[in-house]
Structure 1
Amino acid sequence: MRARLKKTPIGESLTERLKRPPTGQVEVYWLGQAGFVIDIAGMRLVIDPYLSDSLAAKYQNTARPHVRMMPPPVLPDEIFHVDLVLCTHAHTDHMDPGTLPLLLSANPGARLIAPRAVAAQAMERSGAQGDRLILARAGEPISPLARIEIIPTRAAHETLETDTDGNHRFLGYAIRADGTCVWHSGDCIPFDGLEDEVRRLQPDVALLPVNGRRAELSQNGVPGNFSLHEAITVARYVGAADLIAHHYGLFDFNTEQPETIDAEIATITGLGLHRARTDILYTLQNE
């Protein structure tokens, strides 16, 4: 019996909802950009949270000021019952010094998972050290919690990059527990071998960026991601039943229009396509 996503309005602020512990169901909440809260196997995981204005401060009075198009739906120190925080790479909207220390301080038992290739940035931006920091390497499963296995996958943003020891700088994470699998690709574009690598993990749900690539941005050091149609193709190939499209609506120079995603939702067949929304609870349930 295949697990599928069910969408329901949260019906309260995300702040109020995340004060309470996980229910035991697989539940997914969007934090904006590539950030998600995933409750699974009674545990709470947070992936790539960007809940500050650190980039607006960094890029003030520049050609790309990084002004938010949407406010944070919750503050970093308002998410509780967190067991793991995962960062896919070291770009600030995924590994945010304005978010991670506050989030980890509010959850003193939580540990941080980050790519081994960016260990120094992870420690500097989060303050996590020693046993509180878990360094990930593509293809090497991690079992930091009972009943949960995390398999780091390679990501190309826009290229596959490794350090001198062969550790990938950009990762995705497949989160498996209780017979279900949620795959967050990290920032990524299509590359040879990606689909076969992930297909073997049998993801039920794919969380994929859809803001695409623009030559003028790439030439100025702003790498891109899957386009919406590329994300759909990847999700279909890896066998996911549902795709949550994200990484839009935060910075006006690097986004996809929600109307474009919604138009595709209206016509797509054979795949559950969902536009990430901060007011919606996504629950994974058996059909």
Structure 2
Amino acid sequence: MLQWTGGNCVKPHEHPLIQEINNTNVPYGTLGIWFLGQESVIVKGAGITVYIDPFVSDDLEKQGTRRLYQPPITPEAITNADLCLITHEHADHLDPGTLRVLMRQNEKALVVAPAVCRELLVQIGGEASNVMDSDTERSQALFEGKLKIQAIPAAHEELEMNEQGQHRYVGYILELNGVTLYHAGDTLVYPGLPDVLSRYRIDLAMLPINGRDYFRTKQGIIGNMNYREAAKLVADLDVDTVIPLHYETFAGNAERPGYFVDELNEKYPQVKCQILARGERYVYVTPRAFLG
């Protein structure tokens, strides 16, 4: 397993959301979660702050792709990142406008991403020594073993690999502070994915629900699992709680999260679900937290 000690720089007069994150102490068996929109989330546990697919710049809007909302923070606000996980190179996941600032302001933060992303990350200002390729073959232990991550192959919409057999798209399993979290990235439910995930006791899953269809495919929009598939997946895996992602950022590639809630309520009422407002703090508590 690879080791990383980490660290970040903290500036005075932080953005209120960043202050909230810094001041939130979560006991063992819990995680602090903040949703920034699309698939961008912040996770905190054991004193470690993890950004996953941070997408809060206006780079895409400058290129003509309009968002339906303003993000709750700007890139300049991010001063507390210990680790940044990137699932793939699409600009709403690897956002150069956000990462350029994040890597400059958080000089000791580690960035983990598929190998295909390395060149771009270094090009926009990342130190090569601080950029680590995601590894779907073995887990990576970070921060003196407080955090263990495992990259999970993702099919967006296909499983794609380079000549070295490294996956282009990934999700991540995080084992942190007594909680196992799965952030799927962009993916379909492909043959073999449930079997891979069943090796873990997933407490909290974060899944895309926007789906795909003929008309979006014709426009070149690459799809994901839909809300029915996401609901069935978490139910089959006996996941405790699920947070839907990737449903509200762009008008032509959206979904109603209420459909996902209805699907769970009607077919899998044992699965807990949280729909998060952008910028909302949610503290997840594993059922094992109070078993003694």
TM norm. shorter chain > 0.5? yes
Instruction: Give 2:44's aligned residue.
Output: 39
Answer yes or no: is 1:18 the counterpart of 2:16: no
- Structure richer in strand, relative to its length: 1
Give, as a single letter, the amino acid of the residue that structure 1 aligns with 2:131: L
Bigger drift between 106-115 and 242-251 goes to: 106-115
Bigger drift between 272-281 and 248-257 goes to: 272-281
Q: Runs of 5+ in structure 2 lacking a partner?
A: 1-14, 288-292
Give, as a single letter, the amino acid of the residue that structure 2 aligns with 1:49: P
Q: Return the offset for 1:265.
A: 5.6
Give 3-state SS (helix, strand or coil) of 2:252's partner.
coil
Instruction: Give 2:7's aligned residue.
Output: none
Q: Return the offset for 1:22.
A: 4.9
Give 3-state SS (helix, strand or coil) of 1:253's partner.
helix
Q: Kindly tell me the number of residue pairs found equivalent between the two proteins.
A: 269
Q: Return the offset for 1:43.
A: 0.4
Q: Return the offset for 1:164.
A: 1.1
Instruction: Give 2:270's aligned residue.
Output: 270
The answer (yes or no) to whether the contact 1:160–1:170 under 8 Å persists in 2 is yes
Give 3-state SS (helix, strand or coil) of 1:183's partner.
strand
Instruction: Give 2:6's aligned residue.
Output: none
TM-score using structure 1 length: 0.87
Instruction: Give 2:104's aligned residue.
Output: 105
Bigger drift between 46-55 and 17-26 goes to: 17-26
Matches of 1:124 and 1:239 in 2, distance apart? 42
Instruction: Give 1:144's aligned residue.
Output: 142
Instruction: Give 2:8's aligned residue.
Output: none
TM-score using structure 2 length: 0.86
Give 3-state SS (helix, strand or coil) of 2:97's partner.
coil
Give, as a single letter, the amino acid of the residue that structure 2 aligns with 1:138: T
Instruction: Give 2:128's aligned residue.
Output: 130
Matches of 1:233 and 1:167 in 2, distance apart? 28
Matches of 2:110 and 2:189 in 1, distance apart? 30
Bigger drift between 233-242 and 194-203 goes to: 233-242
Bigger drift between 101-110 and 190-199 goes to: 101-110
Give, as a single letter, the amino acid of the residue that structure 2 aligns with 1:45: V
* 1:69-93 deviation line (CA, Å, top 9, x unaligned): 1111111221332110010000000
* 1:220-268 deviation line (CA, Å, top 9, x unaligned): 3210111011111111222311110011111000010244345446545
Matches of 1:182 and 1:135 in 2, distance apart? 20
Give, as a single letter, the amino acid of the residue that structure 2 aligns with 1:132: N
Q: Runs of 5+ in structure 1 lacking a partner?
A: 1-11, 61-65
Give, as a single letter, the amino acid of the residue that structure 2 aligns with 1:44: T
Instruction: Give 1:7's aligned residue.
Output: none
Identity across matched positions, percent:
29
From 55, 59, 62, the equivalent of 1:54 is: 59
Give, as a single letter, the amino acid of the residue that structure 2 aligns with 1:85: C
Q: Return the offset for 1:16.
A: 4.0
The answer (yes or no) to whether the contact 2:261–2:273 under 8 Å persists in 1 is no
Q: Return the offset for 1:283.
A: 1.4
Instruction: Give 2:5's aligned residue.
Output: none
Answer yes or no: is 1:187 the counterpart of 2:186: yes
Q: Return the offset for 1:37.
A: 0.1
Q: Return the offset for 1:14.
A: 2.7
The answer (yes or no) to whether the contact 2:140–2:149 under 8 Å persists in 1 is yes
Task: Note closer, same or farther for the CA distance 1:154–1:243 as it changes in structure 2 (3 Å cut).
Answer: same
Task: Note closer, same or farther for the CA distance 1:183–1:123 as it changes in structure 2 (3 Å cut).
Answer: same
Q: Return the offset for 1:281.
A: 2.1
Answer yes or no: is 1:75 the counterpart of 2:74: yes
Matches of 2:164 and 2:286 in 1, distance apart? 42
Matches of 1:270 and 1:14 in 2, distance apart? 32
Instruction: Give 1:174's aligned residue.
Output: 173
Q: Return the offset for 1:19.
A: 5.0
Instruction: Give 1:63's aligned residue.
Output: none
